[in-house]
Structure 1
Amino acid sequence: MKKLIVLTAVIALLASCGKGDRGQLVGAKGKKWNPEKPYGMTLVPGGAFIMGKADEDIAATNDAPTKTVTVPSYYMDETEITNAEYRQFVYWVRDSIFKTKLALAADLQGAQPGDGGIGEYAFLDADESEDLTPWQEYYKNNYADLSLDGEGRKLNPDVELIWEQDEIPDEFYAEVYDSMYIPFEEAYNGQRTIDTEKIVFTYTEMDMEAAARNKGSKRSDYITQKKIKVYPDTTVWIRDFNYSYNEPMHNDYFYHEAYSDYPVVGVTWTQAKAFCQWRTLYHNAYRKQKNVERVNQYRLPTEAEWEYAARGGLEGATYPWGGPYAKNDRGCFLANFKPLRGDYAADQALYTVEAESYEPNEYGLYNMSGNVAEWVDSSYDVGSYEYMSSMSPAVNDKNNRRKGVRGGSWKDVSYFLQVGTRDFEYQDSARSYIGFRTVQSYLGTDVTLNASTN
């Protein structure tokens, strides 16, 4: 027994020496990580501020009494999400669905890469000439029959989709291609467009708060699958206004390159949430290829985060630029809104303007007031300021379909531009004057605006 103990100690010592830690507690090391400011975002240093109406509540809503709250540091988009940025999301979903349909059709025909035609779009594990990884082999043997929609199977990232009808390689590809478009009888002006009803982004979401407060229950009870149609509702340009001619905006605003740098509108709260999920997935997929640590998730800002960022470090200000007026000392309007008695052109804009217009606030954020109002990740409750936490406050009730909208828009009067003004819209409603921007929590706590220097 004594020899056995000595031998075990020697083995443990050798193992320790082999790791190079000299037997010391050095901690387990993860993947390579360097703090990285996301493209198009700016760092908002955390701190405390007085949240709520800075001026008299002339609308008598009584929904924003002043309260001192503290928010941690986070990154925020410098501009509202633009049409071009949202199109990247839409096209990614569209192309993924198209490729999946092609791969499933190739499976049905028994086609493989190298066969030509639709076989080039087969799932990677369908190529019998290639050695599968242990995981691919395991998945194929155990889950392939359950994954009728192709979930979990890898698409070929190197093969390009063919959109020109004259270049379609075979009839099987043509059949899948045809299924992506609206029926011929619904086409007009010689245009047969993509069937937007089929462009659906699927993701899973976990109600972390409910899971944390109900220990002992199954994790799966709090996981739900979301299926979100991602195309913006372009008809909002017509439905939002009676007796008004806005068909050019309906036809061109989201699709035409001329509007690429304008903020996306016609997006519901649920679509904005889906965009955040995709942006996280897209960024982390790239980082996984590089074998570096994942980034924190992208998300909508809470009401507190939005208002703190909008104030730009100005305490008690009416607008992001201070106030109390919506004009500068040269008489120029400082935001895109509905000035005077409806003279929309007085601020040099009729509808929306490019997302990077007017002067940014002290945090480098554009159009925190005006242009388009913005979804926030908070449910609207008149009395929420009374009971919400003073530390990183967020009030989210999944049964409350009224979600916060902040900042005012191109069609609003200046009251809604005030940083303390609250408004709401129903989460499944889309409007021609509501967009969004995203945030990402800063990993670490060493960046604060008003930290003590003692």
Structure 2
Amino acid sequence: MGKYFVYLSMLTLLGACAGNDSNAQQQKISAEKDTLNRMVLIPGGVFAMGADDSTGMPDEYPKHTVRVDSFWMDEHEVTNEAFAAFVAATGYVTTAEKPLSKEELMASMPPGSPEPDSSMLAAGALVFTPPDHAVPFDDVSAWWSFVPGANWRHPDGPGSDLKGREQMPVTQVSWQDAQAFAQWADKRLPTEAEWEYAARGGLSGQLYPWGNEELTAGKPKANTWNGNFPFRNTKTDGFYAAAPVKSYSPNGYKLYDMSGNVWEWCADWYDANYYTTSGKQASNPAGPARAYDPEDPAAAKRVIRGGSYMCSDEYCRGYRVSARMKTTPESGLSNLGFRCVRSVQR
């Protein structure tokens, strides 16, 4: 009996030691993940969410009061280097690297749509392919092309790679891809309310992360389109397309690129009417229960925020802190990436 008890005790001790080693290893791995992107503590508070003047889009109204708890946020967008570390550790395959089935594509199209051509089922993503002349702004096909073989490793198509782009934001990643990375990193995607609160950097009633000074005044403040969209970019801000993270000054919370560079995925479904139904004061809102885009009611979409290098005064003013945009969760785009947050443990 005594010998049996000693044996059980040894097993228990060994199990405890293994558990401690395992916990220590997990903490080490978690710390290594965090070195890929330093996190900034965003102090909780109350703010007025929505457009700060009359230039907003209809879905930015009414302005309403929102309270958010404190949370941690990546100081910059997730980079190609960080995403490569995630893929190397997990073997993850992104949405753009997988061919679509006809059923999957038809499910995302309006009822009654004709069956897609087989070329539309190939693995790939949408790539910014600007024309060399002025085009109507209501025809996005003039500057977007579906390119087979485009994905996060080859953001502009099979002939491109990540050499020299290690510190640029990862792009061509779907909402599902961003979610998978966040889970691996022990983080999550920000809610739309958290994102806007953080973008404001502690300022109240200001149009941009840096205040109300216009984008073109003084030194470059963000990576946006300079010149005539989409055919002429003067690169006044120093870049034609995406810029390396931290290329511009941070906001009041020491967050970089909360305006321009690439759009960023949020956790929320997109509903154009959400602000009218979310109440006069919301506490840690997680977005609507379902998606609704009156311009494309058949497609469920997620919120994206922050604008991109394709935004300009004449075409898209998405670099304003209140600006909202949306796209389908499966989308891979040349100007769409993400950053993560982590809840403060109570």
Q: Give the TM-score band, short-chain normalised.
A: 0.5 to 0.7
Distance apart, 1:270 and its partner CA: 1.3
**1:227-266 pair list within 5 angstroms:** 233=124, 236-237=127-128, 242=142, 249-251=156-158, 255-266=161-172
* Alignment equivalent of 2:210, drawn from 321, 325, 329: 321
CA displacement, residues 67-113 of structure 1 (integer Å, 9 cap, x when unaligned):
1111000110011000111111112222x89xxxxxxxxxxxxxxxx
Distance apart, 1:58 and its partner CA: 5.0
Unpaired segments ≥5 residues, structure 2: 1-22, 100-122, 131-139, 148-153, 293-299
* Alignment equivalent of 1:371, drawn from 261, 264, 276: 261
2:225 touches 2:309 (CA, 8 Å); kept in 1?
yes
Distance apart, 1:64 and its partner CA: 2.9
Tell me the amino acid that sits aligned with residue 383 of structure 1: N
SS of 1:369's equivalent in the other structure is coil
Aligned-partner Cα distance in 1 for 2:181–2:226 = 32
Tell me the amino acid that sits aligned with residue 209 of structure 2: P
1:238 touches 1:250 (CA, 8 Å); kept in 2?
no
Tell me the amino acid that sits aligned with residue 216 of structure 2: K
Aligned-partner Cα distance in 2 for 1:266–1:248 = 6
Q: Cα distance 1:278–1:396, how it changes in 2: closer, same or farther (>3 A)?
A: farther
Is 1:432 equivalent to 2:334 in the alignment?
yes
SS of 1:304's equivalent in the other structure is helix
* Alignment equivalent of 1:279, drawn from 182, 185, 188: 185
**1:121-136 pair list within 5 angstroms:** none
Q: Cα distance 1:257–1:310, how it changes in 2: closer, same or farther (>3 A)?
A: same
Distance apart, 1:274 and its partner CA: 1.3
Q: Which residue of 2 aligns with 1:66?
A: 63
SS of 1:50's equivalent in the other structure is strand
1:64 touches 1:422 (CA, 8 Å); kept in 2?
no
Q: Which residue of 2 aligns with 1:161?
A: none
- Greater Rg over alpha carbons, structure: 1
SS of 1:405's equivalent in the other structure is strand
Distance apart, 1:341 and its partner CA: 2.6
Is 1:76 equivalent to 2:59 in the alignment?
no
Unpaired segments ≥5 residues, structure 1: 1-30, 98-194, 199-231, 281-297, 445-454
**Number of residue-to-residue matches in the alignment:** 260
**1:289-368 pair list within 5 angstroms:** 298-328=187-217, 331-342=218-229, 343-344=232-233, 345-368=235-258
SS of 1:365's equivalent in the other structure is coil
Q: Cα distance 1:76–1:441, how it changes in 2: closer, same or farther (>3 A)?
A: same
Q: Cα distance 1:276–1:366, how it changes in 2: closer, same or farther (>3 A)?
A: same
1:375 touches 1:404 (CA, 8 Å); kept in 2?
yes
Is 1:403 equivalent to 2:280 in the alignment?
no
2:271 touches 2:291 (CA, 8 Å); kept in 1?
no
Over aligned residues, Cα RMSD in angstroms?
Answer: 3.1
Tell me the amino acid that sits aligned with residue 285 of structure 2: P
Tell me the amino acid that sits aligned with residue 305 of structure 2: R
Aligned-partner Cα distance in 1 for 2:216–2:129 = 31
Aligned-partner Cα distance in 1 for 2:211–2:143 = 37
1:376 touches 1:403 (CA, 8 Å); kept in 2?
yes
Distance apart, 1:386 and its partner CA: 2.3
SS of 1:359's equivalent in the other structure is coil
1:405 touches 1:422 (CA, 8 Å); kept in 2?
yes
Aligned-partner Cα distance in 1 for 2:59–2:203 = 23
1:236 touches 1:432 (CA, 8 Å); kept in 2?
yes
Q: Which residue of 1 aligns with 2:286?
A: 394
Q: Which residue of 2 aligns with 1:416?
A: 318
Aligned-partner Cα distance in 2 for 1:360–1:424 = 25
The normalised TM-score by structure 1 is 0.52
Is 1:93 equivalent to 2:111 in the alignment?
no
Q: Which has the higher helix share?
A: 1
The normalised TM-score by structure 2 is 0.67
CA displacement, residues 421-452 of structure 1 (integer Å, 9 cap, x when unaligned):
111111111111111000000113xxxxxxxx
